[in-house]
Amino acid sequence: VCLLITIATVSLGTGGVYGSWSADYFHLIGHQDATVPVPADYVFRTERPELQKIYALVVQEFGKQRIVPTWIPEGYTQEELVVLDLSHAVYSSLTSGDQRISISFTEYREKNPHNYSKDNMIPFVYEVAGVSHYIFSNAGRWVTVWEVNGLECKISTSCSKETLFCIVDSIYEEIE
């Protein structure tokens, strides 16, 4: 019996966070120094009540953060929005027919990082506002994982990769 295990580690972006992966899993290692500024007068601007509810729960659990998207495609409704006490996380699931967007925020744990299932592809980095977003696919869904302000963030969607980019971009709309 021959067993081949491939593990890769890469440092991309300016923040010092590393992504480590095998053929089947991805996780963040290290700690990203990047912060997303949240001015005292920051107002979360979206016309989507589903996203306003997510933002309110993030503020309740983690304080003012600039990590919640302000845009998702039309037609999505909130299926689930919960605080997971054991892992101190905010989790939301939005659906439109058989399409799904999952969004989660968890306190970053360097000693016990989350493992994210992935397809056998090399993750790539989408850098926005100085934050490295690792992107990979898993079972027909696009996933992005990033760490900022001490929080591990994840968006997973059955939408296209381009739609995922638009969702991520909406987080940083007012930042140059």
Q: What is the per-residue pLDDT across 60-106, written as a single tens digit (0 to 9) for each?
A: 999 999 999 999 999 999 999 999 887 789 999 999 999 999 999 99
Least confident of 37-41, 110-114, 142-146, 166-170: 110-114
CA distances from 170 to 25, 51, 54 (A): 27, 11, 14
Residues 172 and 112: their CA atoms lie apart, in Å, by 28
Q: What is the pLDDT of residue 33?
A: 58
Q: Which two tokens stand for residue 124?
A: 């790539």
Q: What is the pLDDT of residue 175?
A: 65
70 with 171: CB under 8 angstroms? yes
Q: How confident is the model at residue 14 (pLDDT cuts 50, 70, 90)?
A: very low
DSSP string, 37-94: ---TT-----S-HHHHHHHHHHHHHH-S-S-S-S---TT-EEEEEEEETTTTEEEEEE
Torsion angle of the four alpha carbons 54, 74, 165, 43, in this order, in degrees rounded to the nearest 10? -40
Residues 47 and 171: their CA atoms lie apart, in Å, by 14
